[in-house]
Amino acid sequence: MKKILLIICIVATVFALATPSEALELIAGAKIWYANWVPWLRDSGQTAGDRYFGMQNVETGGGWMYGVSASMRFTDTLSLSVAYLYGVLDSSFEHEDRGIVNGDDIAFYQNGTAEITRQDLDTALNYSITSWLKVFVGYKYQPIELDIDQVGAERNISDNKQYFKKTTQTIEIENHCPALGFGVSFPLTDTFVLNANVSLLYLAGSMDYTLKMLYYENADISAPPVSSDDIKGEMDLDGWGFSIDPSLMVLLKGNIILVVGFRYQMISVDGEYKTIGTGEEITYTDMRDHVYGAYLSAMYRFM
């Protein structure tokens, strides 16, 4: 909730500094996007410990994102745009394996779900070079909360002991992404306009990680656990990414504008994970997160 309030304050500040009285044109509306999600968790299985949790088997998921967008044009060449989207995307996975864990020969099976609460705040300052070409500099603020829930069974082959296990992982991420890009616009008729935007971004962020594992003697996980593990960690993130956004704009009567488009975004992240308390460090490289899907916007031109 604090992050949502922060985003609202940022948007309000941007438009307070750029008052509508200074604008030649103001457009605002709502946007809905179905985002297919190929999680970076697949690429986090770079160590034996991560493979133990089955992250490499996370499936492609998705969900709806909703939000608002607005743009102000101050001159024939200069404009400011802001968009905010909020949504919950989910995925699932199943994992069966056998391997050495902490020196013991372990056979295990587990399944689980991954749910990401994602917010995207995108701002851009646009400069029109010609009637059909623009360049822009932008900034993306992206707070993310990822919840991973797993249940499964684990057998120690060495002593033939079996446990049932419930695992909860919580990952909180905060990304800051400056961006640079260009856009093209081609009127097809007086009603239809074909647009496309392409941008590159640099990512700098941080991650807080919490893991809780509960072990049970049988499948009744409502009973008290026989043992538990609690792990906390943190990671500084950096990386790069790009976004491609083609769309068709429909100019209707009464200053109403509809936009149908498709957005694809890829972000590659590196990081140095450190376990709090033990100081254990793990280096991760090129963890790639893909989000793509069709969207629809409805907007109104006020001036």
- Are 110 and 54 in contact by the 8 Å Cβ rule? The answer is yes
Q: What CATH number should be reported for the domain holding residue 92? A: 2.40.128.100
pLDDT digits (tens, 9 = 90+) for 277-300: 887 888 888 889 999 999 999 999
Residues 6+ apart with CB under 8 A from 216: 163, 164, 165, 166, 223, 225, 226
Tens of pLDDT, residue by residue over 192-223, are 999 999 999 999 999 999 999 888 876 666 67
State pLDDT tens for residues 105-118.
Answer: 777 777 888 899 99
The backbone region for 158, taken as left when phi is positive above 0, alpha when psi lies in -120 to 50, beta otherwise, is: alpha
Neighbours of 67 (CB within 10 A): 19
What domain range includes position 98? 2-298
Structure tokens at 138: 């932008």
**Neighbour-count burial of 243, counting CB atoms closer than 10 A to its CB (0-12 exposed, 13-18 middle, 19+ buried):** buried
Q: Give the residue, 47 or 264, on which the prediction is more confident.
A: 264
Mean pLDDT score, 231-240:
94
What are the phi and psi torsion angles at 291 (to 5°)? -135, 130
What confidence score (pLDDT) does residue 18 get?
47
Q: Is residue 303 part of a domain?
A: no
Rg (CA), the chain: 23
Average pLDDT over residues 239-250: 97
CA 42 to CA 101: how far, in whole Å? 20
| pLDDT confidence tier of residue 66, bands split at 50, 70 and 90 | very high
Q: Is residue 245 part of a domain?
A: yes
Domains in the chain, number: 1
Which residue in 136, 139, 134 sits closest to 76, CA to CA?
Answer: 134
Question: Is the pLDDT reported for residue 302 higher than 90?
Answer: no
Lowest mean pLDDT among 119-123, 159-163, 186-190: 159-163
174 has pLDDT over 60: yes
